[in-house]
Structure 1
Amino acid sequence: MLLHLGFEIAYRFVQPTPMVVMLDIHGSRSGDITDCEPLSTLPSVPLRKYRDGFGNTCTRLHAPAGLLLLSAAAIVRDSGLPDRQQPDAMQVPVEALPDETLPFLLGSRYCESDTLMQYAWDRFGHVEPGWTRVQAICDHVHAAIQFGYHHADPTRGALRALEEGRGVCRDFAHAAVALCRCMNIPARYCTGYLGDIGVPPVDAPMDFSAWFEVWLDGDWYTFDARHNVPRIGRVLIARGRDAADVAISSTFGPNTLERFDIVTEETPHAALDIARDPVPVDCVA
């Protein structure tokens, strides 16, 4: 299966403003990109890429005053298979966890596992450890939070999402991540592309999506508390402890978001409709 992915996002700045964006497809999918238009801006400004501590590709730039348009597009080959299922995957004792998983046991800005500890153990302490327990957490979060784009609130964390019973995809992910960490299951927040592929289309503008991964039986597995069913065609952009680590943009000055168009769709074409040289290095950073 081939996926056409991309975006056009515009900000208006009142003055020249430093900016960091996290919009590149994750390096783990570099071998699946058949063609792309790398990240570019209008007007054109210098871009400098670097890797953060979680292995995500970030881009630094200095936005001029006025309107700045960021855009990119890619064709990505995907297996077309739903999220991998391993119902017998067992929980790994904390003392046997790899060192690199330990940061994903700790509380973070949007995942207040310390304040949710009793809440989690009261509800999931009796559930069989491992896949069954993670799925029970997903079932609970899926039922406890009502999805709605009008519920978006960048200050809401896992605790408030569960208290208020409303949110967007990031709130479902934050709540599930926090509850998994309470149960000593390493969990990390993910953001990326997820289109309406293999499911009935949703009558809403396309957006980036949030899900999470947990460490069970020596590997990371994908879960999605918002949809709560295996999905087809996820393409990762970034991973971190929570949304604060993987913000699509961090701007260091006042601005307004004026355009936000995301494309995620299946396509029969392995190349974009623009003549170009082979895939630039920037596309697979």
Structure 2
Amino acid sequence: MLIRYGYDITLACAEPTAMVSLLEVHEDRKADLRAPENLYFTPDIASTTYHDIYGNRCRRFVAPAGELRLWGDATIEDDETLDPEVWDAPEIPVQNLPDDCLVYLLGSRYCETDRLSQFAWDRFGNLAPGWSRVQAICDFVHDHIRFDYMQARATRSAFEALNEGVGVCRDFAHLAVALCRCLNIPARYVNGHLGDIGVPVADPMDFSAWIEVYLGGRWYTFDPRNNMPRIGRIVISRGRDAADIPLINSFGPHVLNSFRVWTYEVSEA
């Protein structure tokens, strides 16, 4: 199966402003691209790339005064399989976790483990450890938070999402990540593309957020927002939470003038 994905974003700055974008496909999916993925700027400006401490590909540039358009488009090959469900995948004791998993047990900007620990243990501590406990967390988050684009707030944390009961996909992800970490289960935040392949079209196309949880010696995808296996996830970046992997990090004020995202299946022809 082939999936076409991309974005068209226009920003406006009053003066030249340094920026870093995380908009391009993650390194572990680059081999699936049918052609090199490119990011185009209008007006044309110079940019460089580097990899951050989480392995994400980041692009540095200076947006000029006035409008800057960022446009990217690519086609990727996908195996057309649903997210795996491995119900016998066990939790790994902290002392046996790989070193690079430990950072995903700690509190972070949007995932306040210190404020959520008691709630997590009271609600999920008596459940059988493993896949079923992580799924119970996702079930709770899915049922507890009401999805509402109009209630989106860039500063909402996991603790606030629990108390307010409303949010968008990043809030679902932050709360599920935080609750897993409270129970000593490594969990990380993921940004990417997720189209409506195999499901009814319900929402406008957008970037999506979901989570990955370390069970049985590997990372598995969970999605508390949709709470069902899906086809065609395209990972852009992974981090502790949204603060680590903003789509665009601006080192100065800017205005978002337009924003369009697409993700859909295309034929071989």
TM-score range with shorter-chain normalisation?
Answer: over 0.9
- Quick check: 1:9–1:71 contact (8 Å CA) kept in 2? yes
| Aligned residue identity for 1:201 | V
Instruction: Write the distance in 2 (CA, Å) between the matches of 1:200 and 1:104.
Output: 33
| 1:55 matched residue in structure 2 | 55
1:1-285 pair list within 5 angstroms = 1-202=1-202, 204-269=203-268
| Aligned residue identity for 2:216 | D
| Aligned residue identity for 1:53 | I
Instruction: Write the distance in 1 (CA, Å) between the matches of 2:169 and 2:180.
Output: 17
What are the Cα deviations for residues 14-38 of structure 1, in whole angstroms up to 9, with x where unaligned?
1111111001100000110002450
| 1:282 matched residue in structure 2 | none
- Quick check: 1:91–1:129 contact (8 Å CA) kept in 2? yes
Instruction: Write the distance in 2 (CA, Å) between the matches of 1:235 and 1:51.
Output: 18
- Quick check: 2:173–2:223 contact (8 Å CA) kept in 1? yes
Instruction: Write the distance in 2 (CA, Å) between the matches of 1:144 and 1:93.
Output: 28
- Quick check: 2:19–2:61 contact (8 Å CA) kept in 1? yes
- Quick check: 2:24–2:37 contact (8 Å CA) kept in 1? no
| Aligned residue identity for 2:4 | H
Instruction: Write the distance in 2 (CA, Å) between the matches of 1:4 and 1:237.
Output: 14
SS of the aligned residue for 2:127 comes to coil
Instruction: Write the distance in 1 (CA, Å) between the matches of 2:186 and 2:251.
Output: 32
| Aligned residue identity for 1:243 | A
When residues 222 and 67 of structure 1 are mapped into structure 2, their CA distance, relative to the original with a 3 A threshold, is: same
Instruction: Write the distance in 2 (CA, Å) between the matches of 1:148 and 1:254.
Output: 26
- Quick check: 1:169–1:210 contact (8 Å CA) kept in 2? yes
Instruction: Write the distance in 2 (CA, Å) between the matches of 1:44 and 1:114.
Output: 46
- Quick check: 1:207–1:261 contact (8 Å CA) kept in 2? yes
Q: Percent identity?
A: 54
TM-score, normalized by length of structure 1? 0.93
Instruction: Write the distance in 1 (CA, Å) between the matches of 2:113 and 2:134.
Output: 15
Instruction: Write the distance in 1 (CA, Å) between the matches of 2:70 and 2:186.
Output: 34
How many angstroms does 1:205 deviate by? 2.4
Instruction: Write the distance in 2 (CA, Å) between the matches of 1:247 and 1:255.
Output: 14
SS of the aligned residue for 1:242 comes to coil
Say what the alpha-carbon RMSD is for the aligned residues. 0.8
Instruction: Write the distance in 2 (CA, Å) between the matches of 1:128 and 1:39.
Output: 46
SS of the aligned residue for 2:227 comes to coil
| 1:273 matched residue in structure 2 | none
What are the Cα deviations for residues 228-285 of structure 1, in whole angstroms up to 9, with x where unaligned?
0001100000000000011000111121101111010000147xxxxxxxxxxxxxxx
SS of the aligned residue for 1:67 comes to strand
Which moved further from structure 2: 44-53 or 32-41?
32-41
How many angstroms does 1:74 deviate by? 0.7
Instruction: Write the distance in 2 (CA, Å) between the matches of 1:255 and 1:100.
Output: 35
- Quick check: 1:192–1:210 contact (8 Å CA) kept in 2? yes
In the TM superposition, structure 1's runs of 4+ consecutive aligned residues that sit over 4 Å from their partners are none
Instruction: Write the distance in 1 (CA, Å) between the matches of 2:233 and 2:18.
Output: 30
Instruction: Write the distance in 1 (CA, Å) between the matches of 2:56 and 2:254.
Output: 25
Aligned length: 269
| Structure 1: gaps (5+ residues) | 271-285
